Amino acid sequence: MNRFLVPLGVFALLAIVLAIGIRHSPDKGIIRSPLIGKPAPSFALPALLEPGRTVRSQDFKGRWYLLNVWGTWCGECRAEHEMLLTVGKSGAVPLIGLDWKDDDAQAQAWLRQLGNPYETVAVDRSGRAAIDWGVYGAPETFLVNPAGIVVYKHVGALTQAEWTHDILPRVNGGKS
């Protein structure tokens, strides 16, 4: 019986120490992107709303921009859409859409019905560009500085809090 008490006590102590560490971790719930501090992946993809036009990442170099990965099949993308309209109307930073593995007709109808917050929308039918950006799932939003460096990544639906506390200060203060 005593031979089981020592390992059980060590296990319990280890579990308590780990629980305290996780509870007090400032980064809990944050998925770090390996792209932070690195050049944004380049892409050249068809434009959703402008047939025959190609959206190129190099077109955005020299200015801040937000790249928002979305799809009509994504429930959280619908929840986020109203916030994206607010961001688009603010004019604080251009919002570029990356329509990920979606049907073009459905995506066009979505934007007609719900409103279009984007300066332009690139179509990523194969999902290759999203892979290059390290996308886990939609929606995800990346902030890229004028030098073309990814400075922030948000996973999930963008909220007023993230916009106000995490994105705008970087854009307005030039913090990269």
Distance of CA 118 to the CA centre of its chain: 14
Domain span at residue 96 reads 33-173
Answer whether residue 6 is part of any domain.
no
| Residue 169 domain flag | yes
Q: In this structure, what token pair is assigned to residue 138?
A: 């939609």
Which regions of the chain does DSSP assign to beta strands (E)? 44-46, 54-56, 65-70, 95-100, 120-124, 140-144, 150-155
Query: Of 20-24, 55-59, 94-98, 149-153, which range is least confident?
Result: 20-24
CB 124 within 8 A of CB 130: yes
Q: What is the pTM of this model?
A: 0.81
What pLDDT is attached to residue 35? 85
pLDDT the model gives residue 33:
73
In DSSP terms, 122 is beta-bridged to 47, 98
Note whether residue 62 is domain-resident.
yes
pLDDT per residue as tens digits for the range 76-126? 999 999 999 999 999 999 999 999 999 999 999 999 999 999 999 999 999
Q: What is the DSSP letter of 80?
A: H
The answer to the question of residue 142 being in a domain is yes
User: From the CA atom positions of the chain, what is the Rg in Å?
Assistant: 20
For residue 29, pLDDT beyond 90: no
d(C-alpha 46, C-alpha 39), whole Å: 22
The CATH number that applies at residue 61 is 3.40.30.10
124 phi/psi in degrees, rounded to 5: -110, 75
Which range, of 16-20, 67-71, 156-160, averages the lowest pLDDT? 16-20
Question: What pLDDT band is residue 170 in, cutting at 50, 70 and 90?
Answer: very high
Asked if residue 168 belongs to a domain, the reply is yes
Q: Pairing mode, if any, of strands 120-124 and 140-144?
A: unpaired
- The residues, any chain, with a CB within 8 Å of residue 151's CB and separated by 6 or more, are 36, 37, 143, 144, 145, 170, 175, 176
Q: Is residue 138 part of a domain?
A: yes
Which letter does DSSP use for residue 17 in this model? H
Mean pLDDT of the chain, nearest integer: 89
Three-class secondary structure of residue 98 per DSSP: strand
> How many structural domains is the chain composed of?
1
26 φ/ψ angles, rounded to the nearest 5 degrees: -70, -20
**Domain-embedded: residue 148:** yes
**Residue written as tokens 């030098």?**
147
